[in-house]
Structure 1
């Protein structure tokens, strides 16, 4: 049981080289310790005893160093060092393999070693000041760490006192306004009561006249009417003719916001702040390319007085963006600290045009703020136009991204591979390619290009990064090679249009197996998702995408001919992203569609002009699509 546990969990922390233990470097320090120990232990009669003082003497140390012998001439001691070859050699080697001359310069080991020692001593002298500098820096950081809590306490008290005074002022103003309301209420109440009493007096007089008049009319005799009628008539007419003020001048109380809450919220942002080590005048903002409908990024680097990146609180960084219409654009998410002093500002523009991005640190505008940000639509860049010159293209097909993110494209008519800068679209270099009807291109782990051609001079050719032809593969299994992809282990998968299948090939071009025979009708391009062991093949004749594993087993297919979402018009270029989504471009209508790993339609990412053919994803989130009849490469934002 214990043995099983040890085998499973106890592993050696040292990784052995291919040669095993023999391939490990010699530890000269340990060997010398063993030599000294052997010398000191020499108490036996046949051993020479060496005094400790002698052992300590530097000039005597070499006397006890272990003898080193030549690997090639086992009985020869290593006594020379060939500086041209950086190799220790014996006397026999200087006669055969390392003869003195223009290619070799063997010198005695002590003289070369002495020079090297002097060099190393010089380096040691340079190490000591750096060690002191680093140690002093650590002490200074420790001092600052110890000051964090006291500094925080002092500033916290200052903040509380400052805002306490502001709160007192607000509460005082509140009391003043409430007292004003009370006074006004009392005054208005007194005025209204006086008005009420005056109206009630008039009401009483009119009511009395009404009663007397009504009694006379209803109950008085003719004689009585004639006796009092004139008096009553005069009284009533006088009251009715009297002008009465029945309206009150009072209206309901209203509170007037001389400063609105929204305005006050803006102003309150400027009330106080935390002064940090950030020097706003040295802060920098880099605006990344912005595309309509995609998350766009600007990077802020907060700097100290020495111009070095430094960290500050996320509350210190504030941003505001305005659309071309002048309306505020809400942030896609709040500024995030990505690394030491570098902040990521994210926004999501809905329309194209010039936006204004305001960036503040500690309520101060950084240099250049507000910034003009041009938001483009897809495609963001068109590379090339029809022609045969530098930077021009004629019937581009396969496309691939090099390790340095340059875009390489095969031109069928110009019979060359041309490489472009992915950011500027500038042509970097080109080289001619053999064969006709060129189509597919990919790069292997060494950076070499592999290019297919499918006419009479068909084949697969391998070129160096500079364009020198290295290999030509024309195995018997190959008839009309089109698109290809190179796997991480050097194997290749290639679509063969005439044979209606794909070929899995060894790095030397020999056949491993056929894939898709009996399923495919017109395979054009291929892409491998090695993480999931899935090979995707576009079939322009069937208007579908087929999925196989690398053992050749059919997994599923998706798509059909049509113009709707998830339908194809002669699908060509295909690739996969890091999430396993499949990206396909239609040759017929230029739509670039995105499907899930299971083939379910997700979205249309872009539409390119002029018969889309090859497609590749760049490392910074763009799609490069070759437009066959448009004679260009269109670079579209993907994510």
Structure 2
């Protein structure tokens, strides 16, 4: 049994007494298999909306199968329930919960778990049915010792009203006295008193918590090593490109096209490998968070729970933590260019060389890391995160039907561990595939979805059975890489039969643009690179910057970049959101330095405002930015859970709290000056005025799945980026769904949004480590898509004259590009 010292009141950081669904104190708190707790009435409402026998956790999306008794069969959160009892005991107005008189309570019956008035106290003293009930005065309970002993009895779910007193070692569950006679007879079952078993179970759970904490340390070390692996991929990729160039230098006439193919496939591998490393790092962090939560829950249970409560939750806690302990990610990122020793002699046979790489995996340890109970007889751990072959390396094997051969493991020691399922939020798994260009019976080439295998220039696309390499040279080279599971990077297709992997946005924040374009703006002078900034040349196709089969693509010409890592003015410690005023001034959130920096249209530093703190005008990790119709700057201040308004010169104007919104993902300001806050947890948009008064709440739960960004159009319509499915969804100002713009033909997730000076919708999205900017007309048709650039972006905005301004996370810089769309001309002609 937990001691009185163990049950001392924990801090609010240790135990949350608020239901994540209703945001009120728990009412009959129930624990799901992931160890997150919710009110039973809230879970009942959720089941009414989505009937079934499986509940999906609103916090972590893990699924829980309902017992035969329904919600009432789920275990209670004893720790939270007892804490709420202590809070109620501190209240000055405790009424009788036994009778209907609503009189003030003076005592508590420990057997009834009810507060009773003087009349009910008399009834307990004289009535035979209350003969053995223990009545304790409130004054005694309100003492420290009384609070420690304040617990409700735990009754048997099979024999109603019978308290749990024994523990069946055969079935490993607490049982009552009636169970020992009927269902757990001593002739076939071994049972002991709960107090005798509690010590052994408590020690076992403490050992499991220690193992879980050690697992967290191990996972964090591997997570840190992924950063070095990403740099290694980059370095090795450059070395292989050099080897490729040297090898085929004397074969220009015959092998020039082979050179381009090798470089193209290598870039796809490098980009995919970088993406896979990012995915695996995110997966590790997710597992770390779930282990930390499990440890915190278990420690609170051991410290606050009674022996009955601990034993009741023992199996569920062990199942969750032991399943997480089996997660053991592995990663390798090596590639080499293998040159044929008889290259010149074999050139007519098409054997130039090949690329070989190791796999990136996350698998269960076979050397003792896994739990000894993790065998075929162990209880089910739920659906697996990954298929039999482990985790994808993210490359996707290049394009479908291309000359890429994927070799897939067959399970065994390479099998990935089963983890609790993420639920309906997951995209469907793709089956493992093998692609080959060898003319052998094992060749598998995915055909295109239509007959458009020839482009406008009469060149055959690399899909289906078509190839740009002549038939007699289709065995010129082999690029080998593996694509074990596409579950980390879901695979989608376009209308041409090409297949791409998509990227999941990783926390980028974005505010819509509220200020209307100023038609009277003077012509903007040509930008120049400020002192100390590097002038960047025009990015050409090839190398790391190449288009991915866009029919209308424009080059990305970088005019200048500013910033870098540091604390001095003009430098950044993790760039955040960016907005551009109607006069071309750029406001950039400097998250790590807790400030907003302002630059003119030429990139020259002007001033900064904000400093770390909780007072008015102070900021803690500012990220989202948006601009009001009168030019003021709205700043999301997540460290203080509020939105602050600043004048264009940085003077503090006002603030309002958003602490009641649990999942603030983005902010935007409409042309009427209303502040929109996107809540990605509740899938809704909160609309405030600039004084913080809530005007309306738009419930978009039925239309949105994974919203990432919000912005507003000139008409007042609201646009939201949703990455499942990959689309841009448009609503009117009342929240009525109007239409959806699919990201058709690209297969990339729209991550950040804004509306340019011509009313076009502009989306910033990325895949394979490249980012692209796509401009959609208001009717949803595509105007232009930029060629890709290998950067990790955070946010972007468009200047009044159509220049994209992008903040990057990998270099702490702000990039200023040339126009994608000419302004002031008919139909926004492309700037090519």
TM-score, normalised to structure 1, is 0.38
- TM-score scaled by length of structure 2: 0.29
Higher relative contact order (CA 8 A, sep 6+): 2
Structure number having the greater helix percentage: 1
> Which one has a bigger Cα radius of gyration?
1
